[in-house]
Structure 1
Amino acid sequence: MKMEVSIFPFFENAVKMMGPDDSFIRGQLINMVNHMNVQTEDKIRFFGGEISRPAMLDSQGRWSPDSLNITTALIMLKNNNAPKDDVIKFMKESLRANQDDVIKSKLLTRFATYYPESIHELK
């Protein structure tokens, strides 16, 4: 009998321990999860967790390198046909995790870009 071992749970745990300096590795994990042979629901949960985390801006008011991964995870949600209700739930969690008005505005802009049909449910 062949036993398969998934590395997906290791990815889920690893990403939780990453800090802002790990932005490149975080981005690589997001891409790897997108290409993994795991349940779509698991991918959606992973990407949703990524868009739901706190974001940061750099000294010029742009997304920090680590926060750019939020956009990548949002794209992956779209590419994996995440159900609208799940996406809205993750976006609401993101807005709760990010109370700064500038960050909220930037998040809403991204949400409107990829999910224009859902943006009215966030305001």
Structure 2
Amino acid sequence: MGEPQAKHDVFQAIADPTRRQMLKLLADEEMPVTAISGHFPMSRTAVSKHLRILSEAGLVKDRRVGRENRYRLNPEPLHELKQWYAYFERFWENKMAALQYLVESDQPDEASKG
């Protein structure tokens, strides 16, 4: 048998702006819930719920230090986002190239002015 499916995937986890901000906060340092809570206008319980969703998606890991859990970013699952984005990035590149062509072809030719 395989591993059980995660309750939340990476896309669900980052859909919430608060969780995206938490990931940014945890990118630079490991923090306990009390410190994370100080950055958001919500209860520690609400922060813990957000951290649980991030943890279930594999985006944060925690470790016990004394009586508290400290959380840190786990960047590996973000690779899935990068792959998804890279696939669709080609459409933006095509659109930008088409726009550039349109703008440049609309410019009067300097040689025809004379």
- TM-score, normalising length from structure 2? 0.27
Which structure shows the higher helix fraction? 1
Which structure shows the higher strand fraction? 2
- TM-score, normalising length from structure 1? 0.25
Q: Tell which structure's C-alpha radius of gyration is larger.
A: 2
